[in-house]
A = this chain, B = another copy of it.
Amino acid sequence: MIRVGVIGYGYWGPNIVRNFSSTKGVEVISVCDRDSAALGRCKIAYPYLKVFSDAHDITTAKDVDIVAIVTPVFTHYRLAKNALKNGKHIFVEKPFTLKSKEAEELIELADKKKLKIMIDHTFLFTGAVRKIKELIDDNVLGDIYYYDSTRINLGLFQHDVNVIWDLAPHDLSIMDYCIREKPVAISAIGAGHFSNKLENIAYIVAHFKNNMIAHFNINWLSPVKVRTTLIGGEKKMLVWNDLETDEKIKVYDKGVKIKNKEGIYELLVEYRSGDMWSPRIDHTEALKVETEYFIDCILNHKTPINDGRAGLRIVEMLEAADKSLKQNGNLVRL
């Protein structure tokens, strides 16, 4: 039996507790939160759990194998370090850390102690993203031309981070997972409209060596909710609308072939416009798939797709985006 201690029982923590609890061979043993009201809710839902107000009681507990860190990002490094030092595997809320150096240090520490790190990039375990990964790996889309993502709504304004650190980890981690090539540079532009100075709207571009380009439109101040990603491939194009219940992914047999001839007026463009196909998507709860996979990685010595290094790559992109943001969109090399 693998035993889990969970730090943080706010918005997301209950889902972590519920999913680890229902995973075979796993037992959630203790929960910690500084907020006594949160602990109260936990006690009602799980009367048999130990509850603490000090994270130390979990990171150092003898009866804990995995520490799940479900707290604001600025606390991740310290809590993760304590847990690793005490020989615990860690499951860390995204984004991994505030600074790439911190992430690097944690990765090194985990490697040394032969412990697993999993960053909770939950979206990677949705049926939709797994299907997109499969379609790209199977070369159904062909070479990728562009990746264009929009994640906007009237969102919960965070008090400590801007919209980039809140929303972009989702999309950056999805792109990182699905697209083999890695970006060489990042640029970002944004604006904040309120007294807290934090950007509530931003546009990020990831630049690649080949002509591929990725773009992320993120916005906490949209009257409508949009969760759409377009992936333009040489052979097929894909639209993922995560707000659709049933037809989340549509694959279009559409494209263009250009044959340059001599004169400027001789451009020959062939348009292809064929069928559309919407593959069935698995609807299993993503977090359920993820927690089971983490246990599998620990028991069978596998490296998670969303390990510390994956988490680090996202933090590096976020850092670069933040830096570019402050320079009005200057290209920041990765």
Residues from 251 to 287 in A contacting B, C-beta threshold 8 Å:
252-254, 256, 258-260, 264-267, 269, 271, 273-280
Number of copies: 4
Determine if B191 and A260 form an interchain contact, defined as CB atoms under 8 angstroms apart.
Answer: no
Interchain nearest-CB distance for A26 vs B (Å)? 16
Q: With A265-B159, A329-B331, A331-B329 in contact, do A222 and B232 touch (Cβ < 8 Å)? A: yes
Q: Nearest CB to that of A158 among chain B residues?
A: B267
Q: Nearest CB to that of A143 among chain B residues?
A: B193
Q: With A224-B252, A232-B223, A328-B207 in contact, do A267 and B196 touch (Cβ < 8 Å)? A: yes
Q: Which residues of B contact A237 (CB under 8 A)?
A: 221-223
Instruction: Let me know if A205 is at the binding interface, CB within 8 A.
Output: yes
Cα–Cα, bound, A36→B187 (Å): 49
Q: With A223-B230, A276-B278, A277-B277 in contact, do A189 and B213 touch (Cβ < 8 Å)? A: yes
Determine if B215 and A203 form an interchain contact, defined as CB atoms under 8 angstroms apart.
Answer: yes
Determine if A195 and B273 form an interchain contact, defined as CB atoms under 8 angstroms apart.
Answer: no
Q: With A205-B329, A276-B247, A328-B207 in contact, do A258 and B222 touch (Cβ < 8 Å)? A: no
Q: Which residues of B contact A160 (CB under 8 A)?
A: 264
Q: Which residues of B contact A178 (CB under 8 A)?
A: none
Size category of the A interface is 35 or more
Among B189, B191, B213, B217, which residue has its beta carbon within 8 angstroms of that of A187? B189
Determine if B264 and A154 form an interchain contact, defined as CB atoms under 8 angstroms apart.
Answer: no
Q: Which residues of B contact A242 (CB under 8 A)?
A: none
Among B146, B238, B250, B328, which residue has its beta carbon within 8 angstroms of that of A331? B328
Determine if B273 and A154 form an interchain contact, defined as CB atoms under 8 angstroms apart.
Answer: yes
Among B187, B230, B264, which residue has its beta carbon within 8 angstroms of that of A329? B187
Residues from 146 to 202 in A contacting B, C-beta threshold 8 Å:
146, 148, 152, 154, 156-157, 159-160, 185, 187, 189-196, 200-201
Q: Nearest CB to that of A324 among chain B residues?
A: B329
What are 15 A-B contacts defined by CB distance under 8 Å? A145-B221, A146-B219, A148-B222, A156-B269, A157-B267, A193-B211, A195-B259, A201-B213, A201-B232, A221-B232, A223-B232, A224-B230, A278-B278, A328-B331, A330-B330
Q: List 6 additional contacts besides A191-B212, A225-B245; criterion CB under 8 Å.
A: A145-B191, A146-B219, A152-B230, A157-B267, A190-B213, A275-B277
